[in-house]
């Protein structure tokens, strides 16, 4: 079973289309439910509407799929950006960013771990970005919420490795996605000037990395930089 958090994003939709050929998927989305995907194989996609900025009963959600919770892989794409100088940010905004980017991740993992421990197998895959980890003017809160996933993932790797449960982070660079396509040509050129290979990544890079993590039991507590060398 795959759990994909952030299913309505451009990357999330692409992952669902590809990975649903091999596994059942529980897909979390917030406001925009992804359109029904043609899925002629035996695997199913279950959509769950969840507002990650609020408190949720994830135990109750996963309970519905209890019989299917085997070989669980959690792919957490949840990301709420905030481009604002710290002096202008309210506590409410800080809370929302951390609720979505950090705290929901913690509570989802907490609910899934019991299934993984019982199965003696599990994969936790967290997403951040190289830009968030390096920091920049105007992204202090976003950067801190995403950077915290590194220490969090490393701790999970040490706590649950004995159950054949791994926890790893994928740090993304610039990818050919709907978000990228909304940028102006001038902005794209500026960002690509930072990338040694002078090109964006594509979804297949991400899919291959996820499959590698899934099939590699000795990769644990790592931060995989998928950013073209930024």
The range of the structural domain enclosing residue 143 comes to 2-226
Which pLDDT belongs to residue 40?
52
Per-residue pLDDT of the chain (230 residues; tens, 9 = 90+): 999 999 988 899 999 999 999 999 999 999 888 776 665 567 899 999 999 999 999 999 999 999 999 999 999 999 998 889 999 999 999 999 999 999 999 999 999 999 999 999 999 999 999 888 888 888 899 999 999 999 999 999 999 999 999 999 999 999 877 667 777 888 888 889 989 988 898 899 999 999 999 999 999 999 999 999 98
The domain tally of the chain equals 1
Q: How far is CA 11 from CA 15, 18, 163, in A?
A: 6, 11, 30
Find residue 4's DSSP bridge partners.
27, 75
Give the full edge-to-edge strand order of the sheet including 122-129. Answer: 45-49, 25-29, 2-5, 73-76, 122-129, 165-172, 223-226
Rounded distance between C-alpha atoms, residue 189 and residue 136, angstroms: 18
Q: Count of CB atoms within 10 A of residue 30's CB?
A: 16
Find the CATH number of the domain harbouring 133.
3.40.50.720
* pLDDT at 182 (0 to 100): 74
Report pLDDT for 35.
Answer: 74
- pLDDT at residue 39, as a whole number: 56
Question: pLDDT at position 6, please?
Answer: 94
pLDDT score for 118: 98
pLDDT per position as a tens digit, 116-174: 999 999 999 999 998 888 888 888 999 999 999 999 999 999 999 999 999 999 999 99
């Amino acid at each position: 079973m795959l759990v994909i958090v952030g299913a309505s994003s451009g990357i999330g939709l692409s992952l669902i289309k590809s990975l649903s050929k091999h596994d059942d998927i529980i897909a979390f989305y917030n406001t925009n439910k992804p359109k029904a995907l043609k899925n002629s194989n035996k695997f199913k996609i279950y959509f769950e509407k969840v507002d990650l900025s609020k408190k949720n009963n994830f135990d109750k959600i996963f309970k519905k799929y209890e019989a299917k919770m085997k070989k669980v892989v959690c792919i957490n794409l949840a990301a709420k950006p905030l481009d604002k100088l710290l002096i202008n940010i309210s506590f409410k905004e800080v809370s929302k960013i951390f609720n979505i980017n950090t705290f929901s991740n913690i509570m989802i993992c907490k609910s899934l771990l019991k299934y993984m421990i019982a199965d003696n197998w599990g994969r936790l895959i967290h997403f951040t970005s190289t830009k968030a980890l390096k920091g920049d003017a105007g992204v202090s809160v976003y950067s801190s919420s995403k950077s915290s996933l590194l220490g969090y993932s490393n701790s999970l790797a040490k706590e649950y490795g004995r159950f054949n449960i791994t926890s790893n982070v994928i740090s993304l660079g610039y990818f050919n996605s709907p978000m990228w396509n909304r940028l102006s040509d001038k902005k794209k050129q500026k960002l690509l000037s930072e990338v040694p290979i002078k090109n964006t990544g594509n979804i297949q890079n991400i899919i291959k990395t996820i499959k590698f993590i899934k099939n590699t039991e000795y990769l644990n507590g790592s931060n995989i930089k998928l950013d073209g060398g930024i």
